[in-house]
DNA sequence: AAGAGATTTGACCAAACGGTAAAAATGTTA
DNA sequence: TAACATTTTTACCGTTTGGTCAAATCTCTT
């Protein structure tokens, strides 16, 4: 479920939030997540969001002053959740275990929050008009920090030499692919719409890819 | 949904194409690629496409009967290009070389055709309303065929055991990531807008990841 | 139960959008 | 160059969309 509502989903109410206010904001954000993630920002209409939230459009606009504000509220609420798996990487752990666990967390995140993943993907594809500065500041800072840890592991000979940042890119892309491109994955595998069974094979593949030896495996049975 | 019209961008002209017709259709498709890839299907407007093609909107609609037809024409034209790198994988080659060359082709394709990649990504993210059957038929068939080749390599001990289809997913996602998420990549790396220099590091990373040993590399200098 | 404040609704609006019709302009060819 | 076909433009239309407003209703407190 979406964590979303951080501190400031600033509505026109400076005072503390009512019970109804909190309920409705959550209902709206949930509905908006559904609609935005399916059709992108421009494909989503206030009418459809309102309808999905079982609410009239003017009522919806009583809680969020416009479409963009809903979108931004959704994105900002998402960012912390999105970065949580990376934050957990510890410098004190064993590289193999740490990276393996990170990949599993990321993949699990894709399976559990596919709509959030697609919302994020849509935003980036559109050029990150709303979270551009977040990428340049918070995300960059976190990546820099974790890249240092990875670099230390490389220097210790515990990890093959590579650009740590690009290693993260590879992890992000492979794991998020299963949420963002799920339609393609299912069609290629010949699976029905709701089927998410491919995640087990995916996990195995990513383990082999990132933790095992992919090529030149002479020790194959 | 709407099926891809076959080869021809069927306009209201059953006869052979005029010089002007060919020029203008190309101009329109180029402009549409720019606009669609930046804003997605719903974010793109006929006015902006027409403006980008330096043409009036009714004139544009003289060549394509509606917005959807432009989008479909663009996608269909793209599919062959998109699959070309995969088609080239040969069963007769050395696995390491074949896969390495495939990855390089794919990455090069991302660098050279980022707009096409984003167009494709947008379509898949939206649930593949226009190319759903293509994914289920042509793409699936090609993947099945190439997966067999990979499986043979695995059985011969030339490639670590893994699900061949998911290996392809991993290659697709990592390579296309650099086109689709280029904004994020640049922001995290602290590069200016036009800079594509990260592709060299990317190529190295993917080589290490797919062809080398990433973890447990005790033979590091 | 009354009053204040919060919430919901229906009616509406201006702009943007996809698309059309027909005339005007241009190109092509006999 | 005249006749015909193709291309372009001007003016327009109906719908959808994001958003407003004031009145009506509901909720909570005292």
- What pLDDT, on the 0 to 100 scale, is given for residue A55? 97
Q: Which residues of chain B have pLDDT under 50?
A: 1-14, 214-221
The answer to whether A183 CB is within 7 Å of strand C is no
For all residues of chain A together, what is the average pLDDT?
89
* pLDDT tens, position by position, A142-183: 999 999 999 999 999 888 889 999 999 999 999 999 999 999
- What pLDDT, on the 0 to 100 scale, is given for residue A187? 98
CA-atom Rg of chain B in angstroms: 20
CA distances from B1 to B39, B75, B147 (A): 21, 14, 28
CA distance A192 to A175: 20
**Do A19-65 and A78-211 come out as alike in CATH topology?**
no
- What pLDDT, on the 0 to 100 scale, is given for residue A212? 79
User: How many residues are listed for chain A in this entry?
Assistant: 221
Tokens of B164: 């061949």
CATH number of B78-211: 1.10.357.10
Nucleotides of C under 7 A from a protein CB: 6-11, 16-22, 27-28
Q: Rounded to the nearest 5°, which phi and psi values hold at B215?
A: -100, 160
CA distances from A98 to A140, A155, B75, B206 (A): 20, 16, 41, 20
Transcribe B61-113 into DSSP letters. HHHSSSHHHHHHHHHHHHHHHHHHHHHT--TTS-HHHHHHHHHHHHHHHHHH-
Q: Does A43 touch chain B (CB under 8 A)?
A: yes
Q: In chain A, what percentage of residues exceed pLDDT 70?
A: 89
CB A111 within 8 A of CB A37: no
CA distance A207 to B161: 11
Q: Does A95 touch chain B (CB under 8 A)?
A: yes
Which residues does B160 contact at the CB level (< 8 Å), separation at least 6?
A: A208, A212, A213, A214, A215, A217, A220, B154
Question: Is A187's CB within 8 Å of B132's CB?
Answer: yes
Q: Which helix (H) or strand (E) holds B30?
A: helix B19-43
Lowest mean pLDDT among A30-44, A78-92, A96-110, B17-31: B17-31
- What pLDDT, on the 0 to 100 scale, is given for residue A213? 59
Tokens of A127: 């050029």
Q: Let me know the angle formed at the C-alpha of A110 by B110 and B129, rounded to the nearest 5 degrees.
A: 60
Average pLDDT over residues A2-28: 61
Residue in chain B closest to A150 (alpha carbons) equals B215
CATH 1.10.10.60 fits A19-65, yes or no: yes
CB A100 within 8 A of CB A210: yes
Which residues does B44 contact at the CB level (< 8 Å), separation at least 6?
A: B32, B35, B36, B38, B67
Question: Is A135's CB within 8 Å of B183's CB?
Answer: yes
- What pLDDT, on the 0 to 100 scale, is given for residue A42? 98
Tokens of B59: 């004139």
Which residues does B106 contact at the CB level (< 8 Å), separation at least 6?
A: B85, B171, B172, B175, B176
List chain A residues with CB under 8 Å of B126. 38-40, 43
Within 10 A of A152 (CB to CB), how many other CB atoms are there? 14
Q: Does A169 touch chain B (CB under 8 A)?
A: yes
List chain B domain ranges.
Answer: 78-211
CA distance A94 to B195: 35
User: How many residues are listed for chain B in this entry?
Assistant: 221
């Amino acid at each position: 479920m979406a964590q979303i509502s951080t501190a400031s989903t600033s509505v026109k109410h400076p005072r503390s939030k009512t019970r109804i206010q909190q309920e409705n904001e959550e209902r709206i954000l949930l509905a908006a997540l559904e609609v935005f993630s399916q059709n992108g920002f421009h494909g989503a209409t206030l009418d459809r969001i309102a309808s999905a939230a079982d609410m009239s459009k003017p009522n919806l606009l009583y809680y969020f002053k416009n479409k963009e504000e809903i979108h931004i509220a959704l994105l900002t609420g998402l960012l912390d959740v999105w970065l949580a798996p990376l934050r957990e990487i510890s410098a004190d752990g064993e590289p193999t275990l740490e990276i393996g666990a990170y990949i599993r967390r990321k993949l699990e995140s894709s399976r559990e929050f596919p709509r959030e993943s697609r919302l994020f993907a849509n935003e980036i594809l559109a050029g990150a008009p709303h979270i551009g500065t977040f990428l340049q500041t918070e995300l960059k800072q976190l990546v820099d920090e974790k890249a240092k840890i990875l670099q230390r592991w490389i220097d210790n000979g515990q990890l093959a030499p590579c650009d740590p940042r690009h290693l993260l890119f590879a992890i992000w892309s492979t794991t998020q692919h299963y949420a963002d491109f799920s339609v393609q994955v299912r069609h290629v595998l010949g699976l029905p719409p709701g089927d998410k069974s491919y995640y087990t094979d995916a996990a195995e593949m990513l383990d082999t890819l990132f933790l095992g030896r992919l090529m030149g495996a002479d020790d194959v049975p």
